[in-house]
């Protein structure tokens, strides 16, 4: 991106887990102004960006990324230098129960946003047009599942998604790429591995395990617990996104990962050990005794692993947090943020846990 003025980002899904981390870092560091467009689904939480409520470099619109009147008005009024597209339905298990909403947001919504972005970008000229970027935040799940000996996913790995979630993200990636090849829109795509850290909605493995362990509830492991994920601390992901936005090559894809492959059994065991250490007075020690093997997820991808040598060699990005240090920070964040936890464990959350796991 060119120019030295403070840039304005239109961030979609900025009230969710990764988007809020990106907005907080971008605004607090003085790096950019952020206009956050978020529908505030169950996964979007206004508390995530409460710290920015009165900040002059932060503006919030509640709405759908596919609402063309709304995005058109934001483009007109804020003249963003980049769009950073986080907004999505993001949970594989929910996509199995209710795939339609994933197609609506992740595919149709992304298309509407792309089309409005194109109209805006085509009217820009000179340096503003040259420097504009559409950064689409995607997942390694589009590549499908690896066998134990397979090399990690690289940018040229063919797409082979397994779940309605990953299939909808794959479709969106294709649309973003098509807008570049067909119309010249200056896009960037990132495909990242599993994130963890503060403010993640507790339907995902790591926050679910932490919060259940606090309360002495079962820690559910699907199947044999030996599925492998590659974990990355959320702030490392956001640093990678800023790097790609600044210096990534237009039209290119960058894979982002933590080089931290762990079986789910390892991950939950490590969490239990850390919680035993951090909370010696807990009545639920040893936390491992709470682990419970439950029915497997249909179409459960066996292994994800990301080769991130392109972003490392081309742009110099590497993760800075280790798995243990990141997990410690995460556990302590959930311990210190009782009001946040209470706000997300609403009746709707309890109904999801009951429907999906059959316990309260
Ligand atoms: P999240 O579910 O925590 O947040 C999604 C946000 O999008 C929420 O604030 C929600 O309110 C908003 N949203 C949903 N539908 C919307 C719509 N129609 N219009 C506007 N806003 C809408 O998700 P996350 O974990 O922060 O993931 C963000 C992005 O990163 C997603 O695109 C996801 O596919 C991708 N990603 C996530 C991970 C991960 O491990 N969490 C890894 C790689 C990529
Ligand atoms: P999740 O956090 O849902 O992320 P994703 O499915 O996008 O990788 O799940 C991470 C891994 O943990 C995945 O292999 C499924 C498994 N898992 C469990 O074993 N138990 C659970 O209760 C959940 C939510 C996930």
List the CATH code of the domain at 7-357: 3.40.50.720
Residues in contact with ligand 1 by the CB-under-6-Å rule are: 12-13, 15-19, 38-41, 43-44, 64-65, 86-90, 105, 109, 137-139, 169, 192, 194-195, 201
pTM for this one? 0.98
Ligand 1 center to 16 CA (angstroms): 6
Can you say how many angstroms the Cα of residue 207 is from the centroid of all Cα atoms in its chain? 14
Q: Among the options 67, 89, 116, 140, which is catalytic?
A: 140
> Which residue of 217, 219, 264, 266 sits with most ligand 2 atoms within 8 Å of its CB, as the best mutation to test the pocket?
264
**How confident is residue 225, by pLDDT bands cut at 50, 70 and 90?**
very high
Q: How far, in Å, is the centroid of ligand 1 from the Cα of 88?
A: 4
Alpha carbon of 199 to ligand 2 centroid (Å): 17
pLDDT of residue 175: 98
**72/261 Cα distance (integer angstroms):** 42
Atom number in ligand 1 closest to CA 85: 32
Asked whether the predicted pLDDT for residue 2 surpasses 50, the reply is: no
How many residues make up the chain in this entry?
A: 360
pLDDT of residue 106: 98
At 91-127, the pLDDT tens digits run 999 999 999 999 999 999 999 999 999 999 999 999 9
Taking CA atoms only, the protein residue closest to ligand 1 atom 42 is 194
Q: What is the pLDDT of residues 253-290, one digit of tens each?
A: 999 999 999 999 999 999 999 999 999 999 999 999 99
Active site residue 288: no
C-beta of residue 234 within 8 angstroms of C-beta of residue 201: no
- pLDDT tens digits for 190-219? 999 999 999 999 999 999 999 999 999 999
Q: Domain limits of the chain?
A: 7-357
pLDDT of residue 359: 75
Residues 75, 64: Cα–Cα separation, whole Å = 15
Residue 242 vs residue 358, higher pLDDT: 242
Q: Label residue 145 by pLDDT band (50, 70, 90).
A: very high
Peptide bond before 223: cis, by omega within 30 degrees of 0? no
The residue contributing the CA closest to ligand 1 atom 29 is 86
Residue 243 has pLDDT above 90, yes or no: yes
Task: Work out the average pLDDT over 312-331.
Answer: 98
Query: Phi and psi for 298 in degrees, rounded to 5?
Result: -65, 140
């Amino acid at each position: 991106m060119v120019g030295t003025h403070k840039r304005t980002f239109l961030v979609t899904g900025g009230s969710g887990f990764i988007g809020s981390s990106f907005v907080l870092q971008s605004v607090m560091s003085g790096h950019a102004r952020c206009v956050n467009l978020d529908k505030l689904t169950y996964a979007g939480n206004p508390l995530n960006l409460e710290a920015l409520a009165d900040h002059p470099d932060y503006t919030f619109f509640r709405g759908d990324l596919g609402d063309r009147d709304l995005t058109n008005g934001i483009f007109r009024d804020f003249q963003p230098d980049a769009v950073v597209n986080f907004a999505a339905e993001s949970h594989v298990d929910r996509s199995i129960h209710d795939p339609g909403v994933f197609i609506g947001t992740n595919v149709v919504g992304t298309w509407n946003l792309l089309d409005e972005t194109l109209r805006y970008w085509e009217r820009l000229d000179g340096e503003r047009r040259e420097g504009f970027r559409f950064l689409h935040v995607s997942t390694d799940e589009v590549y499908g599942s690896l066998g134990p000996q397979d090399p990690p996913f690289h940018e040229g790995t063919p797409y082979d998604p397994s779940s309605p979630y990953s299939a909808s993200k794959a479709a969106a990636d294709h649309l973003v790429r098509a807008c570049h090849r067909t119309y010249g829109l200056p896009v960037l795509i990132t495909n990242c591995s599993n994130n963890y850290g503060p403010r993640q909605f507790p339907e995902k493995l790591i926050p679910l395990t932490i919060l259940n362990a606090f309360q002495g509830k079962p820690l559910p492991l699907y199947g044999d617990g030996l599925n492998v994920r590659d974990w990355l601390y959320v702030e490392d992901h956001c640093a990678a996104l800023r790097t790609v936005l600044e210096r990534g090559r237009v039209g290119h894809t960058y894979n982002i990962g933590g080089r931290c492959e762990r079986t789910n059994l390892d991950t939950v065991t490590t969490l239990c050990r850390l919680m035993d250490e951090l909370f010696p007075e807990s009545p639920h020690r040893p936390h491992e005794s709470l682990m419970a093997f439950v029915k497997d997820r249909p179409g459960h991808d066996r292994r994800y692993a990301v080769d991130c040598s392109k972003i490392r060699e081309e742009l110099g990005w590497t993760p800075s947090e280790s798995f243990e240090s990141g997990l410690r920070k995460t556990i302590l964040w959930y311990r210190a943020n009782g009001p946040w936890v209470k706000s997300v464990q609403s009746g709707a959350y309890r109904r999801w846990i009951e429907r999906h796991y059959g316990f309260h």
